[in-house]
Amino acid sequence: MLSRLKFILPLMAAGALLAAPTASAVPAEPAAATAPQLETIIKPKASTADHSKFKELNRNFQTGPQVTEACLICHTEAAKQVQHTKHWTWESTDPKTGQVRGKKNIINNYCTSPVSNEKDCMACHAGYGWKDDKFDFKVEKNVDCLICHDQTGTYRKLPGDAGHPVYKRVEFPKGSGKFVEPADLKKVAQSIGMPTRSNCGSCHFFGAGGNGAKHGDLDASLQHPGKYLDVHMDEKGLNFTCTTCHATSSHEVSGSRYNVAAAVKGPAHIRGKQDESPAACQSCHSDKPHHEAMLNQHTEKLACQTCHIPEYARNEIGTEASWDWSQATIMGADGKPMVSKDSAGRRKFDSKKGTWVWDSYVIPEYRWYNGVSTYKVIGDKIDPSKTVQINEVGGAPGDADSRIWPTKVHRGKQPYDKVNNYLTVQHTAGEDHTALWHNYDWQKAIGAGMKAAKLPYSGEYGFVDTEMTWPITHMVAPKHDALACEQCHSKSGRLQGIEGVYLPSRDSNKWLDMIGWTLVMLSLIGILIHGGLRIYTGKNKGQHK
């Protein structure tokens, strides 16, 4: 019994963790029935090509790479373009600091690192076959066109297949009795179109292995959002797709948390014009979007998001506030791995992964931010006596290129090497004897992970508190739901502790207040005495001046 559970539960959890990408099972969004006047702006016009008429696509594909080869017959440059993007390399170089980051290089405080776990994690890679460090990034047929362009909603990539889609009917999660059917790759190839919210969301809504878990401002509710949740994506209103803002050319998707346009200045841009940051609010709205000059003036200190995203995770899905890995490998009372959920049905504890705390309708934490974040990359030294910042948010109070931004701060507790003082890479996913989720042995999991990361491991591990800071930018509320003045302009408002601005109502000169009110009190006491004496003497009655 124990051995059976040991076998099934890890698989279930692994399944749950990476079930996320499979959510592309959500059907492609239906054409909006309302707001026809907006249709022309928002919806890409029908393509000039009907891909179902192409003989190149009129064949029974066996694998993803076969489809890509067919795509590349016409779209000769597409794979090369994709191979320059983060969606392919999982790597990003900061243009200002030169630091090489990206999922491949950093250790975050959610699933930590894909290194040694590629077979599972690469279910969200826009490619086929990245299962270890031998993956060849130059092979064009390994670019996955379909994960972004499929319009059937049947194309699914499951953990364990190193980015390949389901080719054979498979039970998923294992032991669940649910089966995933392989997609008809011919139909998928013939369906292709511009990426919809479902395409992007199949990975980005499910980061960290759960709906809404990672970002907080991105979750599956954005498939069919109402106006309250997102004024731009509102299905019955503007009905934006992700790429309406994240304007893309040559497969280079604009807008990234790795390189945030934190303080865009100047007028709105004409769409289509060369634009450094088309995904920024200002590219459509300008940096002076209000009728009142005093409100516009706020844009010199505040990001638009600060007022216009008053809360993130504005739904029951919620988002993870913290992930404590130190609780992983703790077994249930019966000595067996266990899983539990919170009252909203969200994962709360899992012997494989530790404990989580979830939150909904979250008030952001505010930080000065200039768009540059410096990340802890694999091997970076840490000071375990302090909370480790997974990413140091750049910018300074009052700095001309910084704005006060809303952020999600995700708090973690995760393993580190106690002798070498760096965060560890651990081999979590897999079915081999070193995988944490199979064997519940941190020592072996860290050993295998560090070996794959080519980093010395002292053999001594501990757990350290970490924080990761995410600028919040999605789920923009309708204007009537924006922050009211007094939510910041008050003694105990949202921007308590934010320096570098004089905030009327929050700030005042203590000395002036003391002297001023003392004078007022003295005047009142003075007239009380004077008036009291007048009444007491009673002698001025009937007098006139």
Residue 507 sits in the site that holds another protein (CB under 8 A): yes
Output the CA–CA distances (angstroms, integers) from residue 32 to 13, 36, 229, 235, 245, in the order listed: 36, 8, 17, 7, 18
Task: Tell me whether residue 147 or residue 501 sits nearer to another protein (CB atom).
Answer: 501
Q: How far apart are CA 327 and CA 330, in angstroms?
A: 6
Q: How far apart are CA 216 and CA 314, in angstroms?
A: 9
Residue 2 sits in the site that holds another protein (CB under 8 A): no
The one segment of 175-183, 217-225, 291-299, 377-385 that binds another protein by CB under 8 A: 291-299
**Computed over its alpha carbons, how large is the radius of gyration of the chain?**
28
Task: Tell me whether residue 152 or residue 490 sits nearer to another protein (CB atom).
Answer: 490
Half-sphere exposure of 265 (CA within 13 A, CB side): 8
Residue 291 sits in the site that holds another protein (CB under 8 A): no
Residue type at 108?
A: N
Q: Six-digit token pair at 470?
A: 């995410």
Task: Tell me whether residue 221 or residue 299 sits nearer to another protein (CB atom).
Answer: 299
The one segment of 118-126, 217-225, 359-367, 478-486 that binds another protein by CB under 8 A: 478-486
Task: Tell me whether residue 93 or residue 296 sits nearer to another protein (CB atom).
Answer: 296
Task: Tell me whether residue 15 or residue 310 sits nearer to another protein (CB atom).
Answer: 310
Residue 294 sits in the site that holds another protein (CB under 8 A): yes
Residue 300 sits in the site that holds another protein (CB under 8 A): yes
Cα dihedral sign, 493-498-503-507: positive
Output the CA–CA distances (angstroms, integers) from residue 324 to 53, 110, 206, 333, 357, in the order listed: 52, 9, 19, 20, 9
The one segment of 35-43, 139-147, 268-276, 499-507 that binds another protein by CB under 8 A: 499-507
The one segment of 211-219, 302-310, 402-410, 527-535 that binds another protein by CB under 8 A: 527-535
Nearest one of 10, 109, 69, 54 to 432, comparing CA atoms:
10
Task: Tell me whether residue 274 or residue 511 sits nearer to another protein (CB atom).
Answer: 511
Query: Which residue in 59, 491, 495, 496 binds another protein (CB under 8 A)?
Result: 491
**Strand pairing class (252-253; 248-249):** antiparallel
Residue 492 sits in the site that holds another protein (CB under 8 A): no
Residue 363 sits in the site that holds another protein (CB under 8 A): no
Among the residues of 180-256, which ranges form H helices?
A: 185-191, 197-204, 242-245
Question: Are the CB atoms for 474 and 207 separated by under 8 Å?
Answer: no
The one segment of 55-63, 73-81, 252-260, 294-302 that binds another protein by CB under 8 A: 294-302
Residue 346 has a CB neighbour count (10 Å cut-off) of 21
Query: DSSP labels for 460-518?
Result: -EEEEEEEEEEE--SSPPPGGGSPPGGGTSSTTSTTTT--SS--BTTB--HHHHHHHHH
Query: Which residue in 296, 308, 317, 452 binds another protein (CB under 8 A)?
Result: 296
Q: Cβ of residue 286: shortest distance to another protein, in angstroms?
A: 15
The one segment of 45-53, 124-132, 448-456, 482-490 that binds another protein by CB under 8 A: 482-490
**Residues forming the site for another protein (CB under 8 A):** 293-294, 296-297, 300, 484-486, 489-491, 502, 504-509, 512-513, 515-517, 519-520, 523-524, 527, 530-531, 533-534, 537, 539-540, 542-545
